[in-house]
Amino acid sequence: MLSGKKDHLMKVGVLASGRGSNLQALIDAVKTGRLPVKIIGVGSDTADAAALARAANESIPARAFPPALFSSRLDQERSILFWFEELEAELLVLAGYMRLLSEHFIRGAGCPIINIHPALLPSFPGLHAQRQALNAGVRYSGCTVHFVDAGLDTGPIILQQTVPVYEEDTEESLSERILREEHLLLPEAVRLIAAGKVRHNGRKVLIERDA
């Protein structure tokens, strides 16, 4: 089990590089009581990321870690880890964080790290997943929440949601359809983890369904 202590709100840290709509979905789910966790900090590699402003609006500690301010990637990652360690994060969520994390970061985190990806992994990892799906001519795409390993979108899959792909779709229309599902899937994955309902068995993730 990854967590699940009674009466304890799991402390969740978030990393985001951009607009932060997935972060907002988490914040909203917490505010409405659907997601009983505490978002303890939002970090970004981009100083002017809208995600940081969204966090600040909610009085959630927000901090930028722009790579240019650090002597190396290791140094930048250490600084992020140290911050989340101080905040006592028990789960890290990559919500549109556009950097690959090193093995050092993943091992050093001391807590699970999950990511949301806008495709049905293992298809279409990496950048422009929606464009990749359109170019491949698939009839269905969707989104995936997975544990993070050192590969590019290769970690064990926790939850997936499909959406149809229409012949008239553009990258924009498909992205919007997928994003709507991302905003439901990510809070649900965090809820399941916080409730102690998610277990690893090698690459397979076992989820205990709600009673």
* Contact track, ligand GRF, 175-204, x by CB under 6 A: ----x--x----------------------
* Contact track, ligand GRF, 101-120, x by CB under 6 A: ---------------xxx--
- Under 8 Å between Cβ of 52 and 42: yes
- Give, as ranges, the residues between 75 and 94 that touch ligand GRF (CB under 6 A): none
Whole-Å CA distances, 145 to 67, 82, 101, 135, 193: 26, 25, 16, 23, 12
Q: Is 16 a residue that touches ligand GRF (CB under 6 A)?
A: yes
> In three state form, how does the secondary structure of 88-131 look?
CCCEEEECCCCCCCCHHHHHHHCCCEEEEECCCCCCCCCCCHHH
Nearest residue (CB) to ligand GRF, 3 versus 155: 155
- How many whole angstroms from its chain centre is CA 176? 17
Q: How far is the CB of 36 from ligand GRF (least distance, A)?
A: 21
Q: How far apart are CA 206 and CA 83, in angstroms?
A: 30
Nearest residue (CB) to ligand GRF, 95 versus 198: 95
Region from 3-11, 13-21, 39-47, 166-174 binding ligand GRF, contact rule CB under 6 A: 13-21
Q: Is 27 a residue that touches ligand GRF (CB under 6 A)?
A: no
Nearest residue (CB) to ligand GRF, 39 versus 95: 95
Percent helix, strand, coil in the chain, to 5, is 35, 25, 40
Q: Is 155 a residue that touches ligand GRF (CB under 6 A)?
A: no
Nearest residue (CB) to ligand GRF, 80 versus 95: 95
- Under 8 Å between Cβ of 159 and 189: yes
Region from 17-25, 57-65, 74-82, 194-202 binding ligand GRF, contact rule CB under 6 A: 17-25
Q: How far is the CB of 107 from ligand GRF (least distance, A)?
A: 22
Whole-Å CA distances, 1 to 151, 176, 206: 23, 34, 10
- How many whole angstroms from its chain centre is CA 122? 16
Q: Interface with ligand GRF by CB under 6 A: which residues? A: 16, 18-22, 95-96, 116-118, 179, 182
